[in-house]
Amino acid sequence: MQLAVSTVILALRPTPDGSGTTLWLPLVRRIREPFLGAWALPGEPLEEHMSLVEAARTRLRHTIGLDPNYLEQLYAFGGVDRSRDGSSPDAPCPERVVSIVYWALVRADEDARMVAGENVAWFPAEQLPALAFDHAAIVDYALARLRAKLEYTPIAHAFLPDEFTLTEVREVYEAVLGRGLDPANFRRQILASGAVEPTGEKVTGTSHRPPSLYRYRPDSVATSPTPPPRSAA
């Protein structure tokens, strides 16, 4: 059995038709069998000298050229036949691979600094090509988990700058959930949650009445669910 670390990297970008914002993620084109030429999530076998977090962060740097602030372990996937390429049911099954999957949520300022690595391309999360192995199921799980956490945690902060308008928060919710939300109801609910607080500042440089700026309360969020690895002593 082999242990691997994979990452689901999610960022908010304009929809292909420019009508709004949606979730995108980078995929890597495989350069070896099985699934030669197919798209897959970034990942690699776990090296003995690396911790799980170190392996995930190394793969992030190789894939998108940076180390996002928000990184969290998502789930472990270890189906017996998940390494089979499906070309022939009689083909011998390769060595079993168990993948520890992390997800990284990318803020706009981080997105602006990203540089795609070799054989990497970005796709809308709802318009993915056929994926290698069980990676389509992994993406589905990540999206379902994100949408569920949005309902009971302040995870939206992972896509936002330190200070933001309530409209920007609502746009994150709408992009992740894939549906519009009533602005007045959303404003009332997000303020009632106690997760955000006003900064006392307003957006500058607008020709209309400037909107107020807010921030997530420090006690309501964790800056980094998975802290950077410490150097070995």
**37 bridge partner residues:** none
pLDDT in tens, 142-187: 999 999 999 999 999 999 999 999 999 999 999 999 999 999 999 9
- CA dist 91 and 94 (Å) reads 9
Please give the distance of CA 231 from its chain centroid, rounded to a whole number.
25
| Per-residue pLDDT tens digits for 74-115 | 999 987 776 665 544 555 556 788 999 999 999 999 999 999
Worst-scoring range by mean pLDDT, 50-64, 75-89, 216-230?
A: 216-230
Cα angle value 78/80/82 (rounded, 5°)? 70
Residue 202 corresponds to which tokens in the numbers above?
Answer: 């307003």
Q: What are phi and psi of 30, to 5 degrees?
A: -70, 140
More confident residue, 192 or 230: 192
pTM of the model: 0.88
Beta bridge partners of 164: 214
Judge whether residue 72 has pLDDT over 60: yes
Q: Kindly state the average pLDDT of the residues 186-204.
A: 95
With vertex at residue 100, the alpha carbon angle to CA 97 and CA 106, rounded to the nearest 5 degrees, is: 135
Share of the chain above pLDDT 70, in %: 89
Structure tokens at 160: 């936002």
At 232, the pLDDT band (50, 70, 90 cuts) reads very low
